[in-house]
Amino acid sequence: MKRIYFDYASTTPLDKRVKKEMDKCVFGNTMSLHSFGQEAKRVLEASREKVAGLINAKPNEIIFTSSATESNNLALKGLAFKKKKGSIVISAIEHPSILESAKWLSSQGFVIKKAKVDKYGKLDISDIEKLIEEDTFLVSIIHASNEVGTIQDIEKIRNICKKAYVHIDASQSFGKIPIDVKKLGVDLLTASSHKMYGPKGVALLYIREGLAIEPLLHGGGQEQGLRSSTINLPAIAGFAKACQIAKEEMQEESARLRKLRDRLAKGVLRIKGSYLNGHPKDRLANNAHFRFDFIEGESLVVQLDLAGIACSTGSACSSIKLEPSHVLLALGLKPEQAHGSLRVSLGKETTEKDIDYFLLVLPKIINQLRLISPFKWNTQKK
């Protein structure tokens, strides 16, 4: 059976060119004085330059970390440790790494406030404005939702943040849409490698030049003392290659995916009692997110999987938990609507054929599930 992967928002396979770059990477320790070390150091700095280039940052503004989760933790806690007290504004639809870091900071005496979103997942800018007070030192916003794909207007948000620093979690948008940190005016930015065909185990935190934060990992003083650890060079070199590829191919690939996604959405929405979650336009080109009346999302994922199609309900990070997605609830969906949702995320290997197969299989599964549904779809709707 052919297996179709529709969960690129969760993680992506390695691009073959990235793999090649990693395979040829040297193994030395960047901190060593000898030539093995110096070679490694050169690869590190060349990689940093490539990565910085994708978001118009300076190389010295890029700190390599092990994951977007670590970058998000470092952004929030690193700045909070520096500030010692005050409040942070986040949105109601953040990734768990922001939510849980914020929760932990609130146990340490910091005040955390959550800004509302509208039914499309767009941030309510006037709500952010209300939440920002004199002691607010940070506003942290997810750039594009990891669930529904809605993209926020960062420039507008930046404009009303006054003295507060702005961090964006660009884990889903980095490499998929153009990002210019100077133009957006953000102070901190998280980006991940394994969401854009780079290896797992590497990510970055952009820190605007001049902004001081505290490290989370203390030790040998790598990464300007902000992130100690032996440099994970093959992963960083791979990440850099993925950034270079994204820079060259983003526009074309994005257009291709948008076309496929729109074809998919059009087909899915022909199913009775199906709805699109998230913004109709301001969303990632590879993201489609639906909900279906009288459908339990996990059963749907399992049935699709049996038919060779990998999708998710909620994000991977929350798919193990049985609670309804906090993102979908924030959009105003009822728990049963949230539970009846499906995320379909496309990527480089997605073809028109895959979409057609999906559109062939999905209505049948929905139908079967509704037949056995305790909610008696048929009688209620006829």
Catalytic residue IDs = 317
Rule CB under 8 A: say whether 277 interacts with a copy of itself.
Answer: no
Task: Confirm or reject binding of residue 67 to a copy of itself (CB under 8 A).
Answer: yes
**Residue 29 within binding range of a copy of itself, rule CB under 8 A:** yes
101 binds a copy of itself (CB under 8 A): yes
Q: Which of 17, 46, 49, 66 binds a copy of itself (CB under 8 A)?
A: 66
Binding positions for a copy of itself, 134-173, rule CB under 8 A: none
Site for a copy of itself in 169-208 (CB under 8 A): 194, 199-202
- What binding mask, one character per residue, do residues 305-324 give for a copy of itself by CB under 8 A, x or -? x----xxxx--xxxxxx---
72 lies in the site for a copy of itself, by CB under 8 A: yes
Q: Which stretch binds a copy of itself (CB under 8 A): 42-50, 116-124, 269-277, 302-310?
A: 302-310
165-169 and 188-192: which strand pairing? parallel
CB of 35 to a copy of itself, least distance (A): 5
235 is a contact residue toward a copy of itself (CB under 8 A): yes
For the sheet containing 136-142, what is the strand order? 62-65, 203-207, 188-192, 165-169, 136-142, 87-91, 111-115
- Please report whether residue 219 would count as binding a copy of itself according to CB under 8 A: yes
| Chain contacts with a copy of itself (rule: CB under 8 A) | 3, 5, 7, 10-14, 27-29, 31-37, 66-70, 72-73, 95-97, 100-101, 103-104, 194, 199-202, 216-221, 228-235, 298, 301-302, 304-305, 310-313, 316-321
